[in-house]
Amino acid sequence: MTYENPKLILAHSALREGSIMWKSPSNLAIVKYWGKHGQQLPKNPSLSLTLDTSFTQTKLHYAPRKVAGQDISLSLLFEGQPHEGFAQRVKQFFRKILPIFPFLKQLDLTVETQNSFPHSSGIASSASAMSALALCCCSMEDEFFGTLDEDEVFDRKASYVARLGSGSACRSIYPYWALWGETGEVPGSSNLYAVPMAEAVHPVFHTLHDDILIIRSGTKQVSSSAGHSLMQNHPFAEVRYQQARKNLYELINALRTGDLEAFGKVAEKEALMLHSLMMSAPSPYILMAPHTITAIERVWAFRKETGHPVFFSLDAGPNLHVLYPETIIHEVRPFVDTQLAPLCEESIYLQDWAGEGPEQL
C-alpha cells in the first residue's frame, strides 16, 4: 500500500483559493522508536502517549498556481517569521508525498505554523508539525475529491502520510495512546501507519499527567534523524530491538490492567536505554544535561519516600517528562513546583496530560 493516486488532479474549473487549519499534538513514546530502515520504517514497534497542551497549529493556505511548474511552490512562516531550514524540510516532505497528492503541484502553498512548546529540544516537535501537515493535506483531498469521508479511512491515511515526514508523527493522529509497528500483540498493527490503542487501555492511563521539565530549550546538538542513522552500525542494535519488543509486551499488559508500577518500570527503563544508546554509539554523544540527572534522582527519592506512583521518561533531549495519575496531582504538583521547577530553565515546566488527539480548527 502506497496511497499513490495519479487521478487526484484538479480540473482547471475546480482550482480555487482556500485554507485548512489543524492543531496536532506531540506525543511521548514510552517504548521508543530508535532505528529505522527503508522509507521511514521502524526497526521495532513503539507505543506512545498522545499529549494535549504540547501541540503544533498549522494553517495551509492554497491558491491556483500563478506560474506553472513540476516542483512544489511553497512559502512558510514559523511563528510569524521566515524559517529557511524548516521551509526546506516541509518542501522535501511535500515532494515526497506528491505521488499521493499530485494536486499539490497545481497550487501555490503558504504554510503558517507555530508551536505551544520549544521546538527541536526533545519534545517531538517534528511529530506534531508533520502530523498537522499530513492532516491538512488529507483534508484538502477530501474537500476537493470527497474521498476520505470515513473517519477511520481518513485517520489511517493521515497516519501513513505523517510517517513519511517524521516516523513518530504517525502516532500523533490518535487520541490518548497509539502503537506504531507490526507486532503479534496487537492485531492490525503495521509498520506503515499507527493504530489507536485508547480502547485497549485502562481508564487510569486516560488521565495520566506529564509535567515536562524544560531543563534546556533550544536546538539539540544532534538531531533525531542523525541519531537514527547511528543505529545502523551500533554494536548493541540487535539486542536493543529484541529488548524493545520485550518491553512492549510488558507495557501493553500494564496499560490493559492498570498496573502503574509495571508501566513506570518500562517507562524509566526505556528512557535510560535510549540515552545509553546515544552514549555508546559509534560517534558517542550526550543529550542529557546535569540537571536532567538531578531531576531523575529527585523523582526516585520522592517515590521512595512517599510510595506515590511518579515516574519519568525522556525523549531525545535533556527535558524530563514526569508521569503520574490524576488521582495524586495534589500530592505531586507541590513536589514539582518546589523540587523540580528550580532545575528548569527560568524555572519553566509545561503541564501536560493525555490528550484527545488532533483537532481541525
Per-residue pLDDT tens digits of the chain, which is 361 residues long: 789 999 999 999 999 999 999 999 999 999 999 999 999 999 999 999 999 999 999 999 999 999 988 899 999 999 999 999 999 999 999 999 999 999 999 999 999 999 998 766 567 789 999 999 999 999 999 999 999 999 999 999 999 999 999 999 999 999 999 999 999 999 999 999 999 999 999 999 999 999 999 999 877 778 888 888 889 889 999 999 999 999 999 999 999 999 999 999 999 999 999 999 999 999 999 999 999 999 999 999 999 999 999 999 999 999 999 999 999 999 999 999 999 999 999 998 999 999 999 999 9
30 and 55 co-located in one domain: yes
Closest CA to 135 of 108, 103, 109, 170: 170
170 and 246, same structural domain? no
Would you say residue 7 lies in a domain?
no
Residue 194 and residue 215 in one domain: no
Q: Which helix (H) or strand (E) holds 296?
A: helix 290-306
- The answer to whether the beta carbons of residues 162 and 169 sit under 8 Å apart is yes
Q: Are residue 18 and residue 160 in the same domain, yes or no? A: yes
Tell the residue number behind the cell numbers 491558491, with chain if given. 63
- pLDDT at 121 (0 to 100): 58
CA dihedral 352, 93, 114, 209 (to 10 degrees): 0
Same domain, 240 and 127: no
Taking CA atoms, 82 is separated from 21, 217, 219, 261, 299, in Å, by 19, 20, 17, 46, 40
Q: State the amino acid at position 353 in one-letter form.
A: W
Range of the domain at 230: 205-359
Residue 107 and residue 77 share a domain:
yes
Does 31 share its domain with 79? yes
CATH of residue 152: 3.30.230.10
CATH of residue 210:
3.30.70.890
Residue 347 within any structural domain of the chain: yes
Residue 238 lies inside a defined structural domain of this protein: yes
> Of 154, 176, 200, which one is at a domain's C-terminal end?
200
pTM given for the model: 0.95
| pLDDT score recorded for residue 122 | 63
42, 65, 273, 286 from 283: Cα distances, Å: 21, 45, 17, 10
Supply φ then ψ for residue 30, to 5 degrees.
-85, -50
pLDDT for the residue 123: 77
In a domain, 6, yes or no: no
Residue 333 lies in a domain: yes
- First vs last Cα of the chain: how many Å apart? 30
Q: Is residue 5 part of a domain?
A: no
